[in-house]
Structure 1
Amino acid sequence: MTAQPERSSEGEGPEREPRQGRRRERRQVLLRLDPAVHDALAKWAADELRSTNAQIDYLLRRALTEAGRMPKDARPHPRRGRPPRAED
């Protein structure tokens, strides 16, 4: 069985850059984890007021940065939560 490249809903392969003016969408990944590892990640995420998914994204970005492998064109992690209070 050979691995097939992922295809986006627009028919682009993973190696292609999106056309200019088109917003890049976040990729979905199926991740299989040991239940104990998942539970530890979920607890850590809750302690830092993040979702488990956001915690995994945060940890991967931190590891890429520390290894000097963070892509220059990577967008910053989206800011979540309540918007800042408007000053009246």
Structure 2
Amino acid sequence: MAAPTKKAFALRLDPALYAAIERMAAAELRSANAEIEVLLREALGRRGVSVKQSDAPKRGRPPKEEN
């Protein structure tokens, strides 16, 4: 079964806004994309919209199978 993918789309931002997002992301050890997701979820939460986290594929090495 294919892993769920994220929706990709172009997002045009003011360069100063993007620079601020990059600084925040670096401080939180996140990518700019992940930081934008966090900011959007926080903004939606303040407006009373809850967005359930999608089931993401697990990362890393799969556990050893015991025989």
What is the TM-score with the length of structure 1 in the denominator? 0.54
- For 1:75, the equivalent position in structure 2 comes to 54
Q: Which has the higher contact order (CA 8 A, sep 6+)?
A: 2
Larger radius of gyration: 1
* Unpaired segments ≥5 residues, structure 2: 62-67
Q: Distance in 2 between matches of 1:79 and 1:63?
A: 26
- Inter-CA distance 37–48: structure 2 relative to 1 (3 Å threshold): same
* Unpaired segments ≥5 residues, structure 1: 1-20, 84-88
Amino acid at match of 1:66: R
